[in-house]
Amino acid sequence: MTRITAGLSPFTDAADIVEGHDLSGRTMIVTGDATGIGIETTRALAAAVSEETIG
């Protein structure tokens, strides 16, 4: 598996991190997806076409 690396700052969001990475065929588990960073992470992963399990 290739590690995802990105230059992070206080203004980096989940969409910036997954941009340009092929996540097809991967399964992601996101906890705390109802609010805050969890929901933003879920939205970014859904936009990147990964399969998600949320709870």
At 5-52, the pLDDT tens digits run 656 787 888 888 888 888 888 888 888 877 888 888 888 888 887 566
Give CA separation, 32 vs 16, 22, 37, in Å: 20, 24, 8
Of 1 and 46, the one with more pLDDT: 46
Give the separation between CA 34 and CA 36, rounded to whole angstroms: 7
Domain boundaries, given as residue ranges, for the chain: 14-54
Q: Between 38 and 53, whose confidence is greater? A: 38
